[in-house]
Amino acid sequence: MDNVRSIGTEFYGDYNDGGYDKILFPCLKSLELVRMQNLVERMDAMEPTTTGMVFPCLKNLSISTCEQLESAPCHFPSLEEFDISQTKSTTFEKISSKLTTLTSLHISGISELASLPEQLLKNNSSLMYLNIWFCDDLVSLSPHGDVWGFYTSLRSLQISNCKKLSYLPDGLHTLRSLENFEVRNCPNLRSFPSIKGVALLLRTLAISCSDEVLPIGLQSCISLSSLEIDECPNLISIPNLQDLHSLSFLTITSCKRLMGLPDGLDYLTRLKSLTIGGFCEELDSFPSLSSIQPASLETLELYGWAKLNSLPADIQRFTALTQLWIRNFDQMEALPEWLGKFSSVRYLYLRECKNLMYLPTAEAMQHLIYLHIFFLPQINGKMWKGKRRRVAQNCPYSKYLSPLKTD
């Protein structure tokens, strides 16, 4: 509703009718305000001196893309899930000032938000899920260090794409129920807090920071099923991972000083998905994958860099692969014919390989059911003439290739 500038007291009806103790919206459980571009104020129903109740059963509140909103009510006595995005920080602080019953909080794209309000952190002792995305001005979680009331309740903490985030308190390792801890694409985070106190509980861990070493406690995370180490530009080594026996998903990408893979990968017998690459550009070849257990691996995603002109040959060991991703092998001109040995591979993804011109023959590719091609500038209409054109006609995924268009 682009023309709405104010939601006044008429929204609540004649709340004085029947006395100040009237209950307004007694059954409403969910309320959303979405894409109201010019909404400036949403008035409260009552003055603070009244004794009536508003939204006694409201559990879910969502406010999205209301960028001009400056004032809003804060009387939500039973609110459990609060999702707010693309709104001013003052509005967020106003609404959250009296919340005490939250179990889930999702914050995204809040401008001028340097830290979360202290009262919000202290008063919500039942908070289980906290997600913070695309808050460009966020510097720290709390304005005064470890000030929060959800030590025993928080299960999941996700922080992503917060460009100014520079500090995470060490007290995070005291969160007794934390199972999911993810920090992604926060380039100014100086160091990652210790996870020693929650190591045995963690199931999912994603690390992004500018430190040279990984946090204390990583080797003790024996219950981890997913580990992601991404966008760590100063990281020089990764500790031995042999004790992470439950690991099913492993990502090590965009670590520009890393010269190789960690030790202990041969002990990861449950590993199903591996995403690796984007290492030191001084390397002339991709690090050996010979230590990876071949029997369990189903998905392999390789990130190359400017110098690489070929795929690592030991990929051929992974006979159980069903999905193969190949990215950023800028000097590679042709895919090897031995890809045809992967009769198990059904999905092949080729992305951003600037000089890739040739695919294997039809015989080597006929087991595929899906081929994804994105930003391969050297592949154009000319390569589908003659034999190469017949490849497309004979393959079961020909509808994706004919006619081929380059992004």
| Domain range summary for the chain, segments of one domain joined by + | 1-79, 102-214
Q: In order along the chain (407 residues), what is the average pLDDT of each group of 10 residues?
A: 89 62 87 94 66 84 94 91 95 94 97 93 96 96 82 95 91 90 93 89 95 90 96 94 96 95 94 96 92 93 93 91 94 88 88 89 83 79 42 42 38
Predicted confidence at residue 393, as pLDDT, reads 43
State residue 173's pLDDT score: 82
Q: Which of 241, 239, 206 is nearest to 222 (CA)?
A: 241
pLDDT tens, 198-220?
999 999 999 999 999 998 889 99
pLDDT value of position 14: 64
Supply the pLDDT for residue 12: 80
pLDDT attached to residue 17: 55
